[in-house]
Amino acid sequence: MHATDIPEIIAARMGTTRGGKTHLDNGIDPATTALVVIDLQDGFMREGSLIEVPMARAIVDNVNKLSGALRAAGGKICYTRYTYDPDEPRAWGAFFDRFLDPERSAAQKEVFAKGAPDHGLWAGLEVAAEDYVVDKTRYSAFTPGTCDFPAWLEANGIETVIITGTLSNCCCESTARDAMQYGYDVIYVTDANATLTDAEHQATLCNMGTLFAELADTETLVGTLAADAKPLAQAG
């Protein structure tokens, strides 16, 4: 698992900004909460895959714990899949044509095309029939015209999103940043996001905690969700 030590000066700034409190102190309403599992696909997870993130395999148990806890509490689960779609209305030329070299561009288009073997979700994920699986063609699941995720959030009355997946500093961070700016409360899970190095992961945690999201680990969130699920169970 990635090291998640936050420098003291950054931790102090987080505390000052929030007055020593977070919205987790008041619990989580599972009915308006969604766990978002970003891009845990074979193309990032499989040994030897094009963009292998070895640490992503290590977070799967935590992701499954969170999905099970939120599902039991009455919340929603969404899995995104990074996708290359040659027929989308606005091609991502800035990335595929000008950022990547031609060989790399062709490889990513092939690996992450719909139906390609490595486009699918990692088999170790505990995906339930009622969970939502959605394709996205940009880093952020909020980029207009590239993903149905925002409409799903609105249709389900979601107010809080819990961000997990890979890469910490790319698609996970991009989605978390946009979620906050669209007005959602964002929880970024310190030990259920993964990238290529500890340094990149920790830099993202610093950005998230100071500007965009609450930081929490899996154990804390599972405990909070279990506590908040009790009234729902009793009401039934």
Per-residue pLDDT tens over the stretch 98-110: 999 999 999 999 9
Say how many CA atoms lie within 13 Å of 59 toward its Cβ: 34
Mean pLDDT of the 5-15 span = 87
User: In this model, does residue 157 exceed pLDDT 80?
Assistant: yes
Mean pLDDT of the 208-232 span = 85
Q: Residue 26's pLDDT band (boundaries 50, 70, 90)?
A: confident
Q: Domains, the chain, ranges and CATH?
A: 8-235 (3.40.50.850)
